[in-house]
A = this chain, B = another copy of it.
């Protein structure tokens, strides 16, 4: 009975890793789509998000069934509840990758991103993808040190986000308001994507160390957008 139970628990973990891989791939491809103005690629990212949503529903159903059938307590209960939260983070990350792709589609055949922001956006996309790859690895290995690395990576994302805002606020900005709006939203999508990857990793830390979530809460200061705008101003 306990074996079947642990198999179920493992399969929930596998589902989380698969979700993380899919959304990591999605943010990478969405970034390429928006930089190259590649409509087909954008549409494939938009379409692929359904798979992420399905995985989440499936994972939630299994987690709830497991709660009902096995009635876990203590650590096991915490693992299941935390898995539900992680799946919500990953589903939301998928939405954000989809938003990037939808912005690419909306502006096609124009390029949403002006040439002088190309490298910053590319770096944000790559960093987002790396963060999610590390989050997946943290789920698999439960490596607390690796999980803590994601915070440092996230600082890097904040820096890139500020760079983006500095471009926007520069007096030499000549790309108009529409592009400024697109870039503002895009920056926010990457930043939130990174927040969710960090959140996933921190939830694993919480499971492993039992440290209180208050110290590990991810979403407390995501107003970098506004702050970045302020600093760039």
Contacts and interface: CB of A to CB of B under 8 A. Distances in A.
A217 interface: yes
B53 A77 contact: no
A81 B57 contact: no
B173 A177 contact: yes
A223 B184 contact: no
A214 interface: yes
Contact of A185 (B57, B73, B219, B226): B226
B180 A177 contact: yes
A104 to B, nearest CB: 10
A168 B185 contact: no
A178 B181 CA distance: 10
Contacts of A184: 180-181, 184-185
Given A168-B177, A169-B178, A177-B177, A225 B81 contact: no
A68 interface: yes
Contacts of A103: 223, 226
A46 to B, nearest CB: 10
Band of interface residues on A: 35 or more
A85 interface: yes
Interface stretch (A5-13, A92-100, A140-148): A92-100
Given A53-B220, A57-B214, 20 more contacts: A60-B213, A64-B77, A68-B73, A68-B74, A84-B84, A98-B223, A99-B222, A99-B226, A103-B223, A103-B226, A168-B177, A169-B177, A177-B180, A178-B229, A178-B233, A181-B181, A181-B184, A181-B225, A182-B226, A188-B188
A178 B91 CA distance: 32
